[in-house]
Amino acid sequence: MKKVIAILVVALGFTINGNAQDKMMKNDVVKTIALEQTAGEFTQKSVTVSEGTYIFSVSNNHVGKDVGLVLVPKGKDASKPENHIATAYVTSVVKDGEVETSQATTLTKGEYVYFCPLNPTPQYTLTVK
């Protein structure tokens, strides 16, 4: 009898866990914003998206050095790390010819600026409508 109860408890646990994951996937659709860096610039000079959750995918198109990504709400001092949206950082530096991604980042309506601190680029605009 104890074995039957243990099996039922385990089965119930898997069912609840599976349902919770299904609901999370349906409610939190994560989209990708792909950005490419070349020597001294991003090829995407501005990006416009709707509110939602995004992963940034940054490619290093033979820059000759490592690259990264910083995202800051427009109007805040980008030189201060406390103003950076840390989840938008790529999870590791992007080596020459490679692609790296960020964590999921929820963006709300407004304007942001993005740039690379390692391959100094101008600040570009990300608009969320």
Q: What is the pLDDT of residues 16-73, one digit of tens each?
A: 555 544 444 455 699 999 999 999 999 999 999 999 999 999 999 999 999 999 999 9
Say which residue, 13 or 117, is predicted with more confidence: 117
| pLDDT computed for residue 46 by the predictor | 97
Rounded Cα–Cα distance for residues 40 and 67 (Å): 10
Q: Check if the beta carbon of residue 41 is closer than 8 Å to that of residue 119.
A: no
Distance CA 56, CA 50 (A): 14
**pLDDT value at residue 27:** 58
Q: Are 35 and 42 in contact (CB under 8 A)?
A: yes
Helices and strands (H, E) in the chain, number of each type: 1, 9
Tens-place pLDDT, residues 77-124: 999 999 999 999 999 999 999 999 999 999 999 999 999 999 889 999
Fold for 31-128, please state it: Immunoglobulin-like (2.60.40)
Q: Where are the domains of the chain?
A: 31-128
Does the model's pTM come out above 0.85?
no
Q: Given a cut of 90, is residue 13 above it in pLDDT?
A: no
Question: Would you state the structure tokens that stand for residue 13, as one six-digit string?
Answer: 């646990």
